[in-house]
Structure 1
Amino acid sequence: MYSVGSSRVFDPYVQVIQNANITQYIWTKSLLQPLWDYLRSQHQDALRSPLFPVVISVSTYFAVCTFYMILDLLAPRCPLIRRYKIHPEQHVTWEDIFKTLWHTGYNHLIYVFPAAVGQWYWRPPIPLQEEAPLVSEFLIGILGCTILFDFQYYFWHMMHHKVRWLYTTFHAIHHEYYAPFSWSTQYLSAWELVSVGFWTTIDPIILQCHCLTGFTFMVFNIWISVDDHSGYDFPWALHNLIPFGLWGGTVKHDVHHQKPQSHFAPFFSHWDWLCGTHCECKRSPAVLEMQTKRRKASEDQN
């Protein structure tokens, strides 16, 4: 499915890493081979099924959303959790959960599932390569798919805000919530849900990634998307770990729901910087406190 011919898009980049003598064994040996052998021998039929991408996407979405839902329900009675909410005064209710969950389930049942079943009639089973991807190929592939998806979604998202008909017809439903929460991630029109799912599926094919890389990117994409909508600003979140503000994360997407003409990018920050759609972000009380302490400590040292 994800490889075309004998050449790969990322071969030149993998070769550079291999020649850099950086942990040679990791970059030249397929550490993922035992895992891939197990999956091929024990779950080959499932992996080759056209329904498998839908199964892993839906199961990942429900698992990650459930985790954040538990935090949301505990937050009003647990100050330790509430301190990491960007809007600690906002509480997620069962009504919000049922409303968004029903809409998501409806879209999957009426649109996504029939489309997935329809693939049985026109799409052949996915061919599974015998060799697992190199760790370098695996990581670069996920990074490449993330960058490509970020580019696609930025301009698609911006267009749905700039063209009023697109906004009112398709995108307005997603902005019903001023402060997003996990289950609002796929509180979308069917058009948006199908579009995002199409790119997530097709990008690994465009970049000629290994099957394992493509499936992992799907899981990563959904996890990050839910995290962006979670409303939590944890110190260990990617936007607080990746330097120079390169990663958008929860705080920037939260601003997008208050200022819809800003922060269109789903993951990175560079397109918002280049196109002038970047603005300041609100942080959680806990992270603000940490930043204040660091600033004071730095001033005392100087």
Structure 2
Amino acid sequence: MNSTLIGTAREVFEHYPHLTVLEKLWKSWYDYMDNDVLATGLLFFLTHEIVYFGRCLPWMVIDRIPFFRRWKIQPTYIPSEKEQWECLKSVLRSHFLVEALPIWTFHPMCQKLGISVDVPFPSWTKMCLEFCLFFVLEDFWHYWAHRLFHYGPFYKYVHKQHHRYSAPFGLTAEYAHPIEVMSLGFGTIGFPIIYAYFTRNLHLFTITCWVCLRLFQAVDAHSGYDFPWSLHHFVPFWAGAEHHDLHHHYFIGNYASSFRWWDYTLDTEAGPEAKKQREQRWKEKEEKKLREQLLKEKLQ
């Protein structure tokens, strides 16, 4: 193979015309690195940094443009440059000191679990079904783990750091205590690992795309903006920024990450409107119970 990445890519593009462009680029990367552990580690780390900060950047720009304030969920609070900078430094420390080591040890685990790095990739239909499964499982884990972090000492010593900003902004998505980063991060990486263990049929490209989707979801949920074109207006069970912003504002409720069904089903929705509806349901339940009791006494 050629000694440069561009040269390697040129050879791959010439010799493997049946592959898609993405598959050719993927193969070029692994052929050029000639070290799968290093290739996977760099791929995951760089993908995480580029996607996370690349998705945060538009929100940082939007925060500086008054035109967009009409869609700010908490319009009286705009993060200052100092707050953005302090948050950025903390997130970078977390990325290099907490998340980097597991990323660099990921490839040996892939080999043991049979997670493929070869081309061609699985079909998009298969990958999309796996994305849906991972979203549902991650949301389940996030709800219960997040709810636990709001209990007593877990909140005081761990989760309180994430709640430093009652009005979140994009960068705060991964502004958290190392214990929380690892615990909630299990929902993103742990379930694909478990899936691979049982199926022996998962591709690293699928995991890479899934992590990108999860990063987009997390950053957007912390953006602090609810636009008319935000996804939850078209997919009612999607959570989004409007859902998670209430959690930061009231410090309780709305524990799920991607979907609304856990908070709705388990009656942990946040905000005054949800509280009013909850009280109304309790009132109706008590009235029904009282009517049934009076009816029973009357029949006796």
Q: Which amino acid aligns with 1:249?
A: G
Offset of residue 218 of structure 1: 0.3
Aligned to 1:8: none
Cα shift readout 1:102-156 (whole Å, capped 9, x = no counterpart)? 1111112222224434557877596323332222212111111100100011000
* TM-score (structure 2 length as normaliser): 0.74
Gaps of 5+ in 1: 1-31, 283-302
Match of 2:68 among 72, 76, 81: 81
Q: Which amino acid aligns with 2:253?
A: S
Larger RCO (CA under 8 A, 6+ residues apart): 1
Aligned to 2:92: 105
Correspondences of 1:183-222 after superposition (within 5 Å): 183-208=171-196, 209-222=202-215
Change (3 A) 1:280 1:198: closer
Alpha carbons 2:137, 2:187 under 8 Å: kept: no
Partners of 1:70 and 1:158 lie apart in 2 by: 32
Matched, 1:129 2:118: yes
Cα shift readout 1:240-288 (whole Å, capped 9, x = no counterpart)? 121xx20111011000012222100001011101111014589xxxxxx
Correspondences of 1:96-245 after superposition (within 5 Å): 96-117=83-104, 124=111, 127-162=116-151, 164-208=152-196, 209-242=202-235, 245=236
Partners of 1:196 and 1:159 lie apart in 2 by: 11
Change (3 A) 1:266 1:35: same
Partners of 1:108 and 1:40 lie apart in 2 by: 24
% identical aligned pairs:
27
- Hey, which bits of structure 1, 4+ residues long, moved more than 4 A? 45-48, 118-126
Matched, 1:44 2:37: no
Greater Cα shift, 246-255 or 81-90: 81-90
Offset of residue 65 of structure 1: 0.7
Alpha carbons 2:254, 2:270 under 8 Å: kept: yes
Change (3 A) 1:249 1:61: same
Max Rg structure: 2
Task: Give the match's secondary structure for 1:50.
Answer: helix
Aligned to 2:264: 273
Gaps of 5+ in 2: 1-17, 197-201, 274-300
